[in-house]
Amino acid sequence: MSLEPPVIPDDLVLPPGAGGRIVLLVLDGLGGLPDPERGMTALEAARTPHMDELAGRSSLGLHHPVGPGVTPGSGPGHLALFGYDPIRYQVGRGALSALGVGFPLRAGDVAIRLNLAALDDDGRITDRRAGRPTDEEALRVVERLRSGIQLGWPDVEFFLEAEKDHRVVLVFRGAGLGALLRDTDPQTTGVPPLEPAVLPGVEDAASERTVTVLSRFLDRARQILADEPVIRGLLARGYARYEGFPSVKDRFGLRAAAWARYPMYRGVARLVGMEAPVEPASDEEALAAMEAAASDFDFHFLHVKGPDARGEDGDFEGRVAAIEAADAWIPRIMATGPRVLLVTGDHSTPALMKAHSWHSVPVLLHSPFARAGAAVFHETACRSGDLGTLEGRHLMTLALAHAGRLAKYGA
């Protein structure tokens, strides 16, 4: 797929080294809906004294990660926050997962995200995430599959890497492979996995070849795992044929770093040329690593998974607690001396829906040049904020401007 030129003209971005540092704090799935019992969103219910204090000295608003009414995945949501139009720059989650675990993708590789799944004796799914196994248990299963599967095609290789919990990355490498496949995950239990197939209405010989290879792989995997007590199958999703994207250094003159516990988020950052210097085992380790390297980078992407994970569990109080924990980070982040702090989410994950949603996401943008907002940070305050409601991809432009990294446009 050909990529059109960047939204920001090249002559508008100042040379590397100009302007101040930017920190993007992403509270994954931040936006929500009012809880029926409490009558407020998790962000409204949370005690966030540091974000509230900052809100009184910041610009507030809302953003649509992709567009009004569009429910975004984590990949498009983060690409938008990094300044990439998620309609123009598309990538499947498999590539993000592969890059996240540090796998050296090559042009033409097809990357697939797998879920380890629990199946009953009749092959029906009993748990799409296999009870969220430990990383050690997932690695044991991956090593068993690596040693047991033979594809039978000398011109196609496969690589299998454990990602996190139930998530595994599968990469096929060979000529003439495509990625226009439907997921084999039916998104429900009590039924067997779907068979690999090309997307409805699509005619693509390269993707048909991938269907054949993947079918062989999944069949052999089921045979090998048949005697496992829980993990007896794999669900394939998030197909991506890797081609590569222009980097944030080339587009925005930024030396950027990602500090994220989960590999997928390091992957989407690496996709756009960010460094991921560490693989932290906890959110606290991610924050500490960012603090230690604060002056080494122009742009820091700091990720917190809790609000999204608890939202998908339907755990409203868990979302509240995760947001409150992130609020305690604000003084430490500000102590590193950023010119700009941008606090937002990649999408909304209301506990009421137990899933990503299309609802707009709160935004807090702090800099010496921000117009003061309300002395509270939540959906209601953000609706009347200075930033209004905008597309997520424009937040990077605003951050660059507030950091003094954009030149005047025109005469």
Question: Which residue is associated with the tokens 């011109």?
Answer: 155
What pLDDT is stored for residue 253 in this prediction?
Answer: 92
Are residue 82 and residue 169 in the same domain, yes or no? no
Q: How far apart are CA 35 and CA 317, in angstroms?
A: 10
Helix axes 93-100, 74-81, angle to 10 degrees: 70
What pLDDT is stored for residue 15 in this prediction?
Answer: 65
Are residue 280 and residue 350 in the same domain, yes or no? yes
Are residue 237 and residue 259 in the same domain, yes or no? no
CATH code, domain with 195: 3.30.70
In degrees and rounded to multiples of 5, residue 290 shows phi and psi of: -65, -45
**Is 262 part of a structural domain of the chain?**
yes
For residue 197, give Cα distances in angstroms to 46, 63, 208, 339, 374: 44, 35, 8, 49, 51
Are residue 235 and residue 129 in the same domain, yes or no? yes
> If we measure between CA atoms, which residue out of 300, 382, 403 comes closest to residue 24?
300
User: pLDDT tens across 54-98, in order?
Assistant: 999 999 999 999 999 999 999 899 999 999 999 988 777 788 788
Pairing of β 157-164 and β 361-366: unpaired
**Is 4 part of a structural domain of the chain?**
no
**Is 5 part of a structural domain of the chain?**
no
The 10 Å Cβ neighbour count of residue 284 is 12
Q: Which two tokens stand for residue 105?
A: 């993708």
Q: Is the pLDDT of residue 16 over 70?
A: no
Domain that holds residue 61: 10-90+246-402
CATH code, domain with 72: 3.40.720.10
> If we measure between CA atoms, which residue out of 99, 48, 151, 67 comes closest to residue 263?
99
* Strand-pair partners of 257: 275, 300
**Is 276 part of a structural domain of the chain?**
yes
> Can you give the C-alpha Rg of the chain in angstroms?
22
What 8-state DSSP symbol labels residue 198?
B
Are residue 144 and residue 189 in the same domain, yes or no? yes
**Is 69 part of a structural domain of the chain?**
yes
Are residue 24 and residue 133 in the same domain, yes or no? no
How would residue 101 be classed by pLDDT, with cut points 50, 70 and 90? confident
Are residue 78 and residue 116 in the same domain, yes or no? no
Number of structural domains in the chain: 2
Which ranges of 14-87 would DSSP assign to H, the alpha helix?
42-45, 49-55, 74-81
What pLDDT is stored for residue 91 in this prediction?
Answer: 78
Per DSSP, the chain holds a count of helices (H) and strands (E) of 14, 12
Q: What is the DSSP string of 229-242?
A: SSEEEEEEEEEEE-
User: Which range has the top average pLDDT, 84-88, 134-138, 341-345?
Assistant: 341-345
* Strand-pair partners of 60: 364
User: pLDDT tens across 293-341, in order?
Assistant: 999 999 999 999 999 999 999 999 999 999 999 999 999 999 999 999 9
Residue after which a domain boundary falls, among 185, 206, 241: 241
* Strand-pair partners of 46: none
**Is 290 part of a structural domain of the chain?**
yes
Residue after which a domain boundary falls, among 241, 261, 286: 241
Is residue 163 classed as helix, strand or coil in its secondary structure? Answer: strand
Are residue 260 and residue 395 in the same domain, yes or no? yes
Are residue 265 and residue 348 in the same domain, yes or no? yes
**Is 410 part of a structural domain of the chain?**
no
Q: Which two tokens stand for residue 152?
A: 């039978």
Are residue 33 and residue 116 in the same domain, yes or no? no
Residue after which a domain boundary falls, among 200, 215, 241: 241
Are residue 250 and residue 226 in the same domain, yes or no? no
Are residue 265 and residue 387 in the same domain, yes or no? yes
Cβ atoms of 110 and 209 within 8 Å: the answer is no
Cβ atoms of 384 and 103 within 8 Å: the answer is no
What 8-state DSSP symbol labels residue 371?
P
Q: Which two tokens stand for residue 312?
A: 């998908």
Q: How far apart are CA 63 and CA 71, in angstroms?
A: 13
What pLDDT is stored for residue 8 in this prediction?
Answer: 64
**Is 3 part of a structural domain of the chain?**
no
